[in-house]
Amino acid sequence: MNRKENKPRVDLYAKITDRIVADLEKGVRPWVQPWSAANTTGRITRPLRHNGEPYSGMNVLLLWSEGMARGYCAPIWMTYKQATELGAHVRKGETSATVIYASRFTKKEADARGNEVEKDIPFLKAYGVFNVEQIEGLPEHYYHGPKPVLDPIERIEHADHFFGNTGAVIRHGGTKAFYSPSSDHIQMPPFETFRDAESYVAVLSHETVHWTASPDRVGRDLSRYTKDRSERAREELVAELGSCFLCADLGIVPELEPRSDHASYVESWLRVLQGDRRAIFQAAAHAQRAVNYLHDLQPSGEIAEAA
């Protein structure tokens, strides 16, 4: 691949990262915006494809951000072609939102000894999608709002079952929430010390994503977490995104007020993102793998409910 062919891929990483950096510099965590939106009176959900399949990873962040910026209530997105195939049309003057497709291809090249070897080369493509609120003529069910939220008590019980099914050791006491790799347990302050049940679930989701890092689970390296600020910032970004993904899957509205450590985390995230244009993509991918792992631990009948 020559330099000219490589340029659009690099620019796409930079373009998306720059947008997230701009939000962080304003003190806004773009992945948290949907929770405080006035228009999310129904069930919080991941963005959905035209066939009802949820988006994952980085595309969740991109479409949450677009939906918030444009004030859309509907979670469903589709391409211009998909809308046309359904007998509908995108309204004149509407602009698309960007989503990405990441994959890799194999290229043969000569190594230092002149032997032909195969090299895996990742690539990133972007394409446009429209929210159903930009489209006219779709079947009626596309315009239905999200399902009403469950009763708060029932909703939290559902979350309790979810975390119980993971098998994670969760202890309560003290004033700090953390995951301890050495003892492989999650420490949480007493439930009564949280502002509300949703805040408790949001923090527990964050720490449970950390818990997945163990080598016998997803396997993220935490050996430098306490010694390297950059590595700590990257892992905290994974846990932050994973918590948002998981809370959306559980229908939980996370904490709206920032934790006391979020200001320092935002500063460290800015340093990481400004120095590495792919860091947010990697964090979103790690977060998605962690959440997938937690879903896989659920009994088959409960996975569908949580998704």
26 pLDDT above the threshold of 50: yes
Tally of domains in the chain? 2
Same domain, 128 and 192: no
Segment (H or E) for 178: strand 178-180
pTM metric for this prediction: 0.79
Clarify whether residues 233 and 279 are in a common domain: yes
Report which of 152, 155, 154, 151 is spatially closest to residue 250, judged by C-alpha positions: 155
At which of 120, 143, 166 does a domain end? Answer: 143
Regarding whether 208 and 126 lie in a shared domain, the answer is no
User: Taking 90 as the threshold, does the pLDDT of residue 248 lie above it?
Assistant: no
Sequence-distant (6+) residues with CB within 8 A of 288 are 56, 57, 242, 245
- The residue range of the domain holding 232 is 152-306
Task: Identify the domain boundary among 143, 162, 182.
Answer: 143
Give per-residue pLDDT as tens, 131-180.
999 999 999 888 876 565 556 666 688 899 999 999 999 999 988 899 99
Tell me what the pLDDT averaged over the chain comes to: 82
Considering the domain architecture, whether residues 129 and 166 belong to the same structural domain is answered as no
Residues 77, 137 share a domain: yes
* DSSP H or E stretch at residue 94: none
Report the distance separating Cα 46 and Cα 55, nearest Å. 7
- Region of residue 107 (left: phi > 0; alpha: psi -120 to 50; beta: else): beta
Do residues 115 and 10 share a domain?
A: yes
Q: Are residues 125 and 161 in the same domain?
A: no
Query: What's 153's DSSP letter?
Result: H
Do 281 and 257 share a structural domain? yes
Q: Say if CB 62 and CB 100 are below 8 A apart.
A: yes
Span 111-132, pLDDT tens digits:
777 777 777 777 778 899 999 9
The residue among 223 and 113 whose pLDDT is bigger is 223
Q: Do 221 and 83 sit in the same domain of this protein? A: no
Are 166 and 96 part of one and the same domain? no
120 and 46 housed in the same domain = yes
Residue 307 or residue 271, greater confidence: 271
Do 278 and 206 lie in a common domain? yes
**What share of the chain in percent tops pLDDT 90?**
40
Task: Give every strand in the sheet of 178-180, ordered side by side.
Answer: 169-172, 185-188, 178-180
The domain boundary, picked from 100, 126, 143, lies at 143
